Amino acid sequence: MASILKNLRLITDPTRLRILRLLKAEELSVVELQEVLGMGQSRISTHLSQLKKQKLVADRRSGKNVMYSFNRDPVHFPAGLVDVLDLAATEVEEIADDEEALKLVLAKRKDKARAYFDELAGKFGRSYVPGRSWKALSETLLKLLPPMVIADLGAGEGTFSQLLAQRAEKVIAIDSSPKMVDYGAGLAKEHGYDNLEYRIGDIEEPPIEDNSVDLAFFSQALHHASRPEKAISSAYRILKPGGRIVILDLLKHQFEDARELYADVWLGFSELEVSKFLGEGGFGDIEIAIVDRESEPPHFQTLMAIGQKQRN
């Protein structure tokens, strides 16, 4: 009876309950649990130690990692106790977010190609190779894209807009700064980009017609928005059915000076936050990846997210 009461106390702690629910769904490492739960390693390890002591979780070594799993042995975790776990989980509001975050973690596991190219990109960035540059590669890739109508939302002076204009049917560059818009428009005229139009406007309410663009692009702009979810919903509005949204922004960080140095409203976003913004904004076929990590402190990381507007 004592062990049953102790186990009940263990599994009704909200954090341990969340851990058990995750391990019931998938075998995970401490690092993966950190990513899902947004908690420190020591806190998670302490809870795992308590659960392991009561044999509610099992562990095994896999290379350098220790993988934890739900102990399905009915001797230690009888069916009645599992029912209590599932029932108690209905009262923990974080469970739904945990399930979405778990999907992202599991998707990363499968993305072997991304891990390979992350390693390759690090070597590429540190080594000089004559005739090879990111600008040359990006321009080559742009040439392969079909002509599209593109909205560059939060374009600044529009360096990327001008690169897109080399291939796009039309580029609409939106920025709230009149000086940025004037400067960009001047460059577009100077370089003969008749298909590049600059407009003054807020990315939360871009002055673009509904269902009129093929691609809506946010490059390091979303963390300047007061309501990033509204900016994403507005992107959905202006996209044609089947159109795509692309977001490049900072992964959530703790560099508070960014608010003063760069006028950042948000200190980046987690993968889960961006996934929720896109899902609630109506987008499907969502893909999210961390595509860069700066070598210098504070080691900003870049998050890329892609989604598609439903076709009629």
The residues spanned by each domain of the chain are 2-98, 112-308
Neighbours of 246 (CB within 10 A): 16
What pLDDT score does 7 carry? 81
| pTM value > 0.85 | no
- CB-count burial class (<10 Å; 0-12, 13-18, 19+) for 128: exposed
| Residue 39, token pair as written in the block | 């908690």
Task: Give tens-digit pLDDT for 181-197.
Answer: 999 899 899 989 999 99
In CATH terms, is domain 2-98 a member of 2.40.30.60? no
What pLDDT score does 84 carry? 85
Q: Which CATH class is domain 112-308?
A: alpha beta
Average pLDDT, whole number, for the chain?
Answer: 86
Specify the amino acid at residue 4. I
Contacts of residue 264, Cβ cutoff 8 Å, sequence gap at least 6: 223, 224, 258
Residue carrying structure tokens 């979810």? 229
Task: Give tens-digit pLDDT for 91-141.
Answer: 888 998 999 999 888 887 766 545 544 554 445 445 554 555 556 766 676
Mean pLDDT of 208-219: 96
Mean pLDDT of 290-298: 88
Decide: 239 and 210 in contact? Cβ < 8 Å: no
What pLDDT score does 98 carry? 92
| Residue 177, token pair as written in the block | 């700064």
- How are strands ordered across the β-sheet holding 57-62? 28-29, 65-70, 57-62
Helix (H) or strand (E) holding 243: strand 239-250
Mean pLDDT of 148-161: 90
Residue carrying structure tokens 């509001």? 93
Largest CA distance in the chain: 82
| Of the candidates 108, 226, 267, 168, the residue with the CA atom closest to the CA atom of residue 234 | 226
Mean pLDDT of 37-59: 92
| Of the candidates 235, 237, 267, the residue with the CA atom closest to the CA atom of residue 250 | 267
Q: Which residue has the higher pLDDT, 228 or 125?
A: 228
In angstroms, the CA 157 to CA 142 distance is 20
CA distances from 61 to 23, 120, 298 (A): 16, 28, 32
* Out of 66-70, 76-80, 130-134, 208-212, least confident range: 130-134
Strands 196-200 and 213-219: unpaired
- CB-count burial class (<10 Å; 0-12, 13-18, 19+) for 50: middle
In angstroms, the CA 282 to CA 153 distance is 18
Percent of the chain with pLDDT strictly greater than 70: 89
| Residue 183, token pair as written in the block | 């400067």
In angstroms, the CA 38 to CA 138 distance is 35
pLDDT at 60 over 90: no
Residues found in the chain: 312
Angle between helices 30-37 and 41-53 (to 10 degrees): 120
Helix (H) or strand (E) holding 149: strand 149-153
Decide: 175 and 181 in contact? Cβ < 8 Å: yes
Task: Give tens-digit pLDDT for 158-184.
Answer: 888 988 898 899 999 999 998 889 998
Equal fold, 2-98 vs 112-308: no
